[in-house]
Copies of this chain bind each other. A is one copy, B any other.
Amino acid sequence: MSTRTTVCALLLAAAATVSSVLPAAASDTPPAAGASATSPSWMYRDSHVSAPAALKIAQRTLAAAKAAGQRVSVAIVDRNGTVIAQVRGDGAGPLTMESAVRKAATAAHFCTPTSVLAERLATNPGLRDLPGSLFLGGGVPVPGEPTCLAGIGVGGAPSGDQDEAFARAGLSALGK
């Protein structure tokens, strides 16, 4: 048994004798949404748009934009803010990539299309200061349970409505 192994074994044993930090830890995380019955209580399970699916979303989005004669970029961002995929469309302008990411994140955050959210600014203008957000049409959420799974963001068309239409075309790659 190497020295190192010994050290680790000792440490784990010692740690095991430390009493549970929080009383009733298990009941603290009931088998609610996000935790399956068979997972340890310390585990949180969630669902993401898979990378191959994100690529299909991007393909559909770009194809729809091309069919409409528009040059856009597209991003798919997970519920936890991870960028799954981002693609710069041919000839898309310099402001499209980061815009697409922010629209996707904003739609995923609120589980609401950014075109709808943009209208909320009339009553709550402070929302636009949320770091990482963008309240312009072109972001749509990917539905899921217990909350939406991701957001699709598109930037580059002359109007947010068009950007949103391309994002929805992308979403249709999921059969939704």
Contacts and interface: CB of A to CB of B under 8 A. Distances in A.
Contact of A67 (B15, B84, B102): B15
Contacts of A59: 21-22, 52, 55
Interface residues of A, number: 124
Contacts of A41: 22, 25, 50, 53
A109 B156 CA distance: 8
Nearest to A33: B91
Contact of A64 (B18, B95, B106): B18
Nearest to A115: B4
Interface in A82-124: 82-99, 102, 105-106, 108-110, 118, 121
Interface of A: 2-26, 28-30, 32-36, 38-56, 58-60, 62-64, 66-68, 71, 77-99, 102, 105-106, 108-110, 118, 121, 126-136, 144, 146-147, 149, 151, 155, 159, 161-162, 164-166, 168-169, 171-176
